[in-house]
Amino acid sequence: MASFSLSLLVLMGVMMTAVAQVLLKKASGFEVRTSPWILFFCLSGGAYALSFILYSQILKYFALNKIYPAMTVAQILVITLVGLVMGEAVGGRHALGLVFGAVAIYLILA
């Protein structure tokens, strides 16, 4: 598989996990077992299922000890950016942690 395709596969895996998290956050705003909660909860579950399928394919091409930490930190970065868009605050310590996370991704994958 071409390097571009592998990068795209990893990006899709990270993004699907982020989408699942956002949908689950949306579901949390509704009472359990109401129609909107069921809708967002099920959409989140579907996004998680797709992210697991993508991750199973990603593991064919990357060492687990490299791709898991890199994708986890990437997901944290994406979720934090989405949180900012949704109006959530990010303090200085949080931002510094994100910088360290980005450095960690570089060091792990270099």
Which tens digit of pLDDT belongs to each residue from 15-61? 999 999 999 999 999 999 999 999 999 999 999 999 999 999 999 99
Q: What is the pLDDT at residue 11?
A: 96
3 pLDDT more than 90: no
Helix intervals (H) in the chain: 3-27, 35-58, 64-85, 92-109
- Break the chain into its structural domains and give their ranges: 3-109
Amino acid letter, 1? M
* Distance of alpha carbon 10 from alpha carbon 67, whole angstroms: 9
Is 102 in contact with 77 (CB distance < 8 Å)? yes
Is 73 in contact with 104 (CB distance < 8 Å)? yes
Which tens digit of pLDDT belongs to each residue from 92-107? 999 999 999 999 999 9
* Distance of alpha carbon 16 from alpha carbon 19, whole angstroms: 5
Q: What is the pLDDT at residue 110?
A: 86
